[in-house]
Structure 1
């Protein structure tokens, strides 16, 4: 009688050869958004006052340093902006246009998406054949650096 092999959730405790996607998921009851999930008194520390993960100006910093920090941040951002402006000017002087660069980036995204699908298919084929993906490369004329 196989009933003794079934656990409380109705699934067999005997491992199967079927992939997890083909096994039936456990049956769950309806969600109850208004009810508490924990018993009262078990997690009182969770309901304490909020403590920010950022250190306060009192801990570890002098009063002057905390006031200068926004000014330093602004200065660093201005320097980064200037550096990026120089890079943009250099690319324009080399003959690149913003539209051309955006088109190139778009093509790179499309190439990467296609390559990802190809890698996935090679992986599935390797599993079916019981070989490594690396072993399939010569069959399809691919270089290991592809």
Structure 2
């Protein structure tokens, strides 16, 4: 499965992993975002489209996940460093730019692994350039406001 994380500043990380469930993939993507980008911030906002992942992180579900437990440990470690992490839901496939690019990056990771190609770096570089042109002039805080408008 392909996972990815995209920042409001235009950074993209993408990986392909063998996981047990879609929930594990979504939690792994949140974990990727934390390990790739969170240590640079005092407050780290994650927008994700599956409501079950948000519920898991917020402790509002009885679902079990080894990936999720690893994610919770990473969140606890960041908290000890004084980094506040929040995870919020954004409607998927509804025009949210960051969510759309995260989906596209995850597909690139999965397909490159699936077909054994070596052009993942170039494809992600092209995607990054496209993302930069789309987010130019938008302040990172506006992405959080956008999630409430995109209903």
**TM-score normalised over the length of structure 1:** 0.21
Q: Normalized per residue, which structure has more strand?
A: 2
Q: TM-score, normalised by structure 2?
A: 0.20
